[in-house]
Amino acid sequence: MGLGANLGDRMKNLDRAVEMIGGDNRIRVLKQSQTYETSPIGLAEQPVFLNRVIEIASELMPCGLLKVFRRFEDELGRQRDTENGPRTLDLDLLLYHNWIQYSHSLQLPHPRMVERRFVLVPLVEIAGELRNPHSGNSLSACLDALESKGQEVEIFRG
C-alpha cells in the first residue's frame, strides 16, 4: 500500500499511519520502504509530498481494508474538499495479491500505480519482483519504462 502526506508534520503523519495500521489486530506491517520526497502531480500549487510504501498482511478483503484506511485518514485530519489536493494523509491500496477489481469504490491494481515514480520507486525497493496483474511485467520493468518521464523522486533526508 502507498502512503503520502503533504500537510502538517508529514513524517509524523506517515509514521503515525504505519503505527495505526500495525496496531489494528487484523493487519500486520511486513516491510516498509524508505521515505521519498516528491512534487505534487495534478494540482501543482501545493506543498511537496512525502511518500512511502508498506507491505501488509491482513485477513481483511480489499473493501474492508479500504474502510479501515479511510478511517485512519479521517483520524489524522484528511479533508476531501479538493480532488488531488493537499492532505495530511493519503492511504492507497496498490495491490492485493494478483487481484483485479473494478468497482465504484476500489480499483485493483491501483489504476495509476504504473504511471507514478513516487509509487513505483518505493514499491520496487521492497517488492520489485512482483508483477503487474494487468501486463504481467515486473514492477521493476514498469519503473524502467517510466525513467524517461522525469518525475522527481528523492530520498527524504529531513
For 76-86, what is the mean pLDDT?
80
pLDDT exceeds 80 at position 57: yes
Query: Which CATH architecture group holds 2-155?
Result: 2-Layer Sandwich (3.30)
Q: Answer yes or no: 92 catalytic.
A: yes
Q: Where do the structural domains in the chain lie, given as residue ranges?
A: 2-155
Which residue out of 10, 52, 90, 116 is catalytically annotated?
90
Q: Are 14 and 3 in contact (CB under 8 A)?
A: yes
pTM, rounded to two decimals: 0.88
How many Å is the Cα radius of gyration of the chain?
Answer: 15
At 9 the pLDDT is 97
pLDDT in tens, 3-23: 999 999 999 999 999 999 999
Q: Answer yes or no: 15 catalytic.
A: no
Which residue out of 15, 16, 70, 92 is catalytically annotated?
92
SS3 128: coil
Which residue out of 10, 52, 87, 116 is catalytically annotated?
87
Q: Answer yes or no: 90 catalytic.
A: yes
